[in-house]
Amino acid sequence: MAFIGGADLGEAGLNGAGGLGAPPASLAGGIMGTLARAQYGALARLRWRMFLNGLRSNKGALELGARTFSLLVYGLMGLGLGTGMGIATFFLVSRGEWRLLPILFWVLVFLWQAIPVMLASFQEQFDLGILLRFPVRFGSYMLLYLVFGLLDISTILGGLCCVGIWFGVAAARPGLLVFATLALAVFAAFNILLVRAVFAWIDRWLAQRKTREILGAIFMVGLLSLQLMNPALYQKRHARHTGPDERVQQLREAEARYAPVLKVASTVQKCLPPGMAAQSLRHAVQHEPVTGLESLGGMALYALLVGGVLALRLKAEYRGENLGSAPARVKAASGRNGAVAGSGIQERKAVGLRGGSGPIAAVIEKDVRSLLRTLPLLYAIGAPLLLVLVFSGVFIKNGAAQGPMFPLALPLCMMYAQLGFTQVFYNNLGTEGAGIQLYFLSPTPIRTVLLAKNLLHAFLFGLVALVAAVLTGLRLGPPDGAVVAATVAWLLFSLPCNLAAGNIFSLRMPYRVNPGRISRQRGSQANALLSLLVQLGVLAMGAAVFSLCWFLDRMWLATPIFLTLAMGAVFVWRRVLGNADGLAYQRRDALMATLMKES
Amino acid sequence: METAAIQTHGLTRRFGALTAVEDVTLSVAPGQFFGFLGPNGAGKSTTIKMLTGLLEPSAGTVEILGQPFGAGALHLKRQIGVVPEGMALLGRLTAPEYLHFVGRMYGLDRETTNQRTQELLEFMQLANETKKLVTDFSHGMQKKLALAAAVIHGPKVLFLDEPFEGVDAIAAGMLKSMLQGMINRGATIFLTTHVLEIVERLCSHVAIISQGRLVANGSIEALRAGVASTLPGAEQEQRLTLEEIFLSIVGAGGTQEQAQELSWLS
| CB–CB contact A432 B128 (8 Å) | no
Model pLDDT, residue A521: 57
B23 pLDDT higher than 80? yes
| B44-84 pLDDT tens trace | 989 998 998 888 889 999 999 988 876 557 788 889 999 98
pLDDT digits (tens, 9 = 90+) for A350-367: 344 444 558 899 999 988
The closest CB to that of A443, out of B54, B107, B118, belongs to B107
Cβ-Cβ contacts under 8 Å, B123 against chain A:
none
Any idea which of A23-27, A251-255, A258-262 has the lowest mean pLDDT?
A23-27
CA distance A404 to chain B (A): 48
A348 closest CB neighbour out of B77, B96, B264: B96
According to the model, what pLDDT value does residue A10 have?
A: 36
Mutate to test the interface with B, among A336, A349, A441 (most CBs of B within 10 A): A441
> What CA–CA distances, in Å, run from A504 to A430, A492, A501, A573, A597?
13, 19, 5, 10, 21
Question: Which residues of chain A does B112 touch, with a Cβ-Cβ cutoff of 8 Å?
Answer: none
User: Taking 60 as the threshold, does the pLDDT of residue A14 lie above it?
Assistant: no
Instruction: Tell me if B264 and A585 make a contact (CB, 8 A cut-off).
Output: no
Q: Residue A21: is its pLDDT beyond 60? A: no
Q: Is the pLDDT of residue B248 over 80?
A: yes
Summarize the confidence of residues A449-470 as an average pLDDT: 89
| DSSP 8-state secondary structure symbol assigned to residue A331 | P
Q: How far apart are CA A120 and CA A528, in angstroms?
A: 10
CB contact under 8 A, A437 and B117: no
- Look at A337 and B78 and tell me if their CB atoms are within 8 Å: no
Residue B127 above 80 pLDDT? yes
pLDDT in tens, A426-437: 888 888 888 888
pLDDT surpassing 50 at residue B146? yes
CA A215, CA B91: separation in Å to the nearest integer?
Answer: 19
- pTM (2 decimals)? 0.66
Q: What is the pLDDT of residue A482?
A: 83
Q: What is the pLDDT of residue A216?
A: 65
pLDDT over threshold 90, residue B8: yes
Q: Is the pLDDT assigned to residue B118 strictly greater than 80?
A: yes
Tell me the pLDDT of chain A averaged across its residues: 75
With beta carbons under 8 A apart, name residues in chain B contacting A3: 261
Closest-CA distance of chain A to residue B204, Å: 26
Q: Using one digit for the tens of pLDDT, what is the confidence trace for B199-233?
A: 988 899 999 999 999 999 999 888 888 888 877 76
Q: Label residues B47-73 b or e (16+ Cβ within 10 Å = b).
A: bbbbbbbbbbbeebebbbbeeebebeb
Per-residue pLDDT reduced to its tens digit, A276-286 = 988 888 888 78
Nearest to B92 among A3, A329, A369 (CB): A369
Q: Contacts of residue B74 in chain A, CB cutoff 8 Å?
A: 443-445
**Distance of alpha carbon A303 from alpha carbon B87, whole angstroms:** 45
Of the candidates B117, B203, B211, which has an alpha carbon nearest to the alpha carbon of residue B158? B203
**Residue of A437, A586, A587 to mutate for B, most B C-beta atoms under 10 A:** A437
Strands B213-219 and B205-210 turn out to be antiparallel
pLDDT digits (tens, 9 = 90+) for A176-221: 888 889 899 999 999 989 988 887 887 777 666 666 666 666 666 6
Beta-strand relationship, B80-83 and B67-68: unpaired
Stretch 115-154 of chain B: residues touching chain A, C-beta under 8 Å: 117-118, 121-122, 127-133, 135-136, 149
pLDDT in tens, A126-173: 566 666 656 677 888 888 888 877 777 788 888 999 999 999 988 888
> Average of pLDDT values for A546-552?
84
Element housing A392 (H / E): none
Q: Write down the pLDDT at residue B107.
A: 83
Residue A566 has pLDDT above 90, yes or no: yes
Q: What is the mean pLDDT of residues A82-105?
A: 88
Q: Predicted ipTM? A: 0.74
If you count residue pairs, one on A and one on B, with CB atoms under 8 Å apart, how many are there? 162
Task: Return the amino acid letter for A477.
Answer: G
Cβ–Cβ of A340/B54 closer than 8 Å? no
Cα separation, A278 vs A296, in Å, equals 10
How far apart are alpha carbons B163 and B140 in whole angstroms? Answer: 9
Gap between the Cα atoms of B38 and A170, Å rounded = 72
Residues, chain A:
599
Cβ-contact A413, A395 below 8 angstroms: no
A367 touches chain B (CB under 8 A): no
| Beta-carbon separation of A362 and B133 below 8 A | no
Which chain B residue has the Cα nearest residue A443? B74
Q: What is the pLDDT of residue B17?
A: 85
Position B264 scores a pLDDT of 75
3-state class percentages of chain A: helix first, strand second, coil last, to nearest 5: 80, 0, 20
Can you give the length of chain B in residues? 266
Residues with Cβ within 8 Å of B241's Cβ and at least 6 positions away in sequence, in order, are B196, B200
Query: What pLDDT, on the 0 to 100 scale, is given for residue A132?
Result: 63
**pLDDT, position B28:** 94
Is A378 near chain B, with CB under 8 Å? no
CB pair distance less than 8 Å for B78 and A348? no
Confidence of residue B22 (pLDDT cuts 50, 70, 90): very high
As a whole number, the mean pLDDT across chain B is 86
Q: What confidence score (pLDDT) does residue B232 get?
A: 72
Band (A244; pLDDT cuts 50, 70, 90)? low
Reported as a pLDDT band with limits 50, 70 and 90, residue B15 is confident
Cα–Cα dist A445/A427, whole Å: 18
In terms of CA atoms, which chain B residue is nearest residue A322?
B136
The pLDDT value given to residue A126: 59
DSSP for A292-304?
Answer: HHHHHHHHHHHHH
C-alpha separations of A535 from A187, A425, B104 in Å: 36, 11, 34
- Quick check: A496 and A569 in contact, CB under 8 A? yes
pLDDT digits (tens, 9 = 90+) for A400-443: 555 555 666 777 777 777 777 887 888 888 888 888 888 888 88
Closest CB to B96 among A336, A338, A344 = A344
**Closest listed residue to residue A190, CA positions, set A78, A322, A307:** A307
- Helix (H, G, I), strand (E, B), or coil: what is residue B212? coil
